[in-house]
């Protein structure tokens, strides 16, 4: 019976080498087996096996009969998904800045990533006291406004997306809340993630209507008490819809 640790390490090494192959070909346009083997410091047979696996998935392709390889069209759908996620920041920037200026609070755009909400863009309002710099920060799904919006969409598609670490009672309460989030089109977080921090978020959809991001407004509880959160919620929802419109989603 094989050593599972050694097998796992070997698998990781193969992934690292495959990624390096893609990077080398991307940088050079084309590359041959011998050339890649030399760069990887492996035998030609190893480089050939890596190229074969990548070719099978359409990630590389041979250039005629010249023995050279170039990037394949299989990368296009993968790149498209990344570009779409980044496109939401481009389309949402002016909307976020206008909303932050008008409300005087911090506006963030977050996307889902491996069970968390990742803040990929931020606009700050003119208030002297602003919230923490959230740009690039990874936050939980279950107790942040953006996370709830993203989680509501995920759970609607797959109930197994509900976080496993929550207790049975908390999962039941969160499940009921996520249903309301889907119905209402927004989520609140009232001092759930951090004491003294309140926030409201609304979904951002792509051209197909899929929720790909969440737009949130957050600030200190003394500036954003419950009544103020309720007051600005329509503005946040409208901003989320405007970004969705710019992403090609026209049906509400």
pLDDT at 224: 94
pLDDT at 129: 52
Examine the pLDDT at 132 and tell me if it is beyond 70.
no
How far, in Å, CA of 212 to CA of 204, rounded? Answer: 6
Q: Which helix (H) or strand (E) holds 236?
A: helix 226-246
pLDDT at 163: 86
Provide the whole-model pTM: 0.68
pLDDT at 67: 77
pLDDT at 66: 66
From residue 240, how far is each of 15, 92, 154 by CA, in Å?
A: 38, 9, 18
CA-nearest of 120, 126, 169, 165 to 142 is 165
Domain 4-73 has CATH 3.40.50.11060: no
Q: Using N-to-C axis directions, what is the helix angle for 75-103 and 226-246, rounded to 10°?
A: 140
Percent above pLDDT 90 for the chain = 49
Lookup result for tokens 């640790």: 5
| Structure-token pair, residue 38 | 């030399």
Q: Which fold has domain 81-246?
A: Beta-Lactamase (3.30.450)
Mean pLDDT for the stretch of residues 168-177: 91
Torsion of CA 157, 163, 168, 170, to 10 degrees: -100
- For residue range 28-37, list pLDDT tens digits in order: 889 899 999 9
4-73 matches 81-246 in fold: no
- For residue range 75-87, list pLDDT tens digits in order: 766 665 665 667 8
- Which residues does 95 contact at the CB level (< 8 Å), separation at least 6? 215, 239, 242, 243, 246
Across 78-87, 112-121, 191-200, least confident range: 78-87
User: Mean pLDDT of all residues in the chain?
Assistant: 87
pLDDT at 12: 74
CB atoms inside a 10 Å sphere around CB 32: 18
Mean pLDDT for the stretch of residues 84-110: 90
pLDDT at 250: 79
Across 39-53, 132-146, 202-216, least confident range: 132-146
233-248 burial string, b = 16+ CB within 10 Å, else e?
beebbebbbbbbebbe
How far, in Å, CA of 132 to CA of 129, rounded? Answer: 10
> 11-15, 136-140, 156-160, 184-188: which has the highest mean pLDDT?
184-188
**End-to-end Cα distance, the chain:** 57
pLDDT at 138: 84
Mean pLDDT for the stretch of residues 168-192: 94
> 116-125, 157-166, 175-184: which has the highest mean pLDDT?
175-184
CA-nearest of 115, 120, 62, 56 to 88 is 120
Question: Is residue 48 a contact partner of residue 84, using CB atoms and an 8 Å limit?
Answer: no
104-128 burial string, b = 16+ CB within 10 Å, else e?
bbbbbbbbbeebbbbbbbbbbbeee
Across 94-98, 158-162, 218-222, least confident range: 158-162
Examine the pLDDT at 226 and tell me if it is beyond 80.
yes
pLDDT at 144: 95
pLDDT at 213: 95
How far, in Å, CA of 188 to CA of 145, rounded? Answer: 5
In the chain, what are the domain boundaries?
Answer: 4-73, 81-246
User: In terms of C-beta density within 10 A (0-12 exposed, 13-18 middle, 19 or more buried), how is residue 252 classed?
Assistant: exposed
Question: Is residue 243 a contact partner of residue 95, using CB atoms and an 8 Å limit?
Answer: yes
| Structure-token pair, residue 168 | 């049975």
pLDDT at 233: 98
């Amino acid at each position: 019976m094989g050593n599972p640790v050694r097998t796992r390490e070997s698998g990781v090494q193969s992934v690292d080498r495959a990624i390096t192959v893609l990077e080398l070909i991307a940088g050079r346009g084309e590359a041959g087996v011998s050339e890649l083997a030399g760069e990887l410091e492996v035998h030609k047979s190893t480089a050939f096996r890596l190229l074969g696996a990548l070719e099978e998935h359409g990630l590389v392709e041979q250039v005629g009969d010249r023995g050279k390889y170039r990037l394949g069209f299989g990368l296009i759908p993968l790149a498209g998904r990344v570009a779409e996620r980044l496109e939401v920041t481009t389309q949402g920037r002016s909307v976020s800045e206008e909303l932050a200026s008008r409300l005087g609070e911090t506006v963030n755009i977050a996307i889902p990533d491996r069970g968390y909400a990742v803040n990929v863009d931020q606009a700050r309002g003119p208030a002297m006291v602003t919230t923490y710099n959230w740009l690039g920060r990874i936050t939980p799904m279950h107790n942040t406004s953006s996370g709830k919006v993203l989680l509501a969409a995920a759970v609607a598609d797959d109930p197994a997306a509900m976080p496993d670490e929550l207790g049975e009672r908390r999962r039941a309460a969160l499940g009921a809340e996520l249903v309301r989030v889907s119905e209402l089109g927004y989520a609140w977080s009232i001092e759930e993630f951090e004491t003294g921090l309140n926030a409201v978020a609304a979904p951002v959809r792509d051209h197909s209507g899929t929720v790909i991001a969440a737009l949130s407004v957050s600030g200190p509880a003394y500036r954003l008490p419950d009544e103020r959160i309720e007051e600005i919620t329509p503005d946040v929802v409208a901003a989320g819809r405007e970004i969705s419109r710019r992403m090609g989603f026209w049906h509400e």
